[in-house]
Amino acid sequence: MQAGRLRQRITFQSPGLTQDPVTGEEIEGWTTVWDKVPASVEPLSARDLIAAQAGQSEASGRMVIRYRIGVLPTMRILHRGDVYNIQGPPMPDPVSGLEYLTILVSKGLNDG
């Protein structure tokens, strides 16, 4: 994976408790885990989309990042003001499994 392909920046968020700034009460929300992660953000091609739908997947795009431990399907990704849900576990690269991760995502509202 060439570093030049990872031009966009994405943010990973995890569900959890946050503090209401007005009342101080703990409420359910999203906490930023990693910010400004270099990534390649690509919509699925028509061919990929048909193959994904055959597997009953809702995936509408893929994001590729450098290998990172701790990426979970319960997280969500923010990119340019849009919210993306992670569809299943991230897939490691086929050669070493430690160079990059491919994450299938679906675009949609996920406000917790």
Domain count for the chain: 1
Kindly list the distances between the CA atom of residue 83 and the CA atoms of 13, 25, 39, 50, in Å, as whole numbers in the listed order: 10, 25, 15, 22
Name the pTM for this structure: 0.81
Residue 43 sits in which domain range?
A: 3-107
Q: What is the pLDDT of residue 1?
A: 56
pLDDT in tens, the chain (112 residues): 566 789 999 999 999 988 888 888 998 999 999 999 999 999 876 556 556 555 555 678 999 999 999 999 999 999 999 999 999 899 999 999 899 999 999 986 666 5
Largest CA distance in the chain: 51
Q: What is the pLDDT of residue 60?
A: 82
Q: Does 14 map to a domain?
A: yes
Which residues, including other chains, have CB under 8 Å from residue 90's CB and lie 6 or more apart?
71, 101, 102, 103
Compute the 3-state secondary structure of the chain and give helix, strand, coil in percent, each to the nearest 5: 10, 50, 40
Q: Does 112 map to a domain?
A: no
Q: What is the CATH number of the domain that holds 101?
A: 2.40.10.270
Q: What is the pLDDT of residue 19?
A: 83
Q: Does 35 map to a domain?
A: yes
Check if the beta carbon of residue 106 is closer than 8 Å to that of residue 60.
yes
Q: What is the pLDDT of residue 107?
A: 84
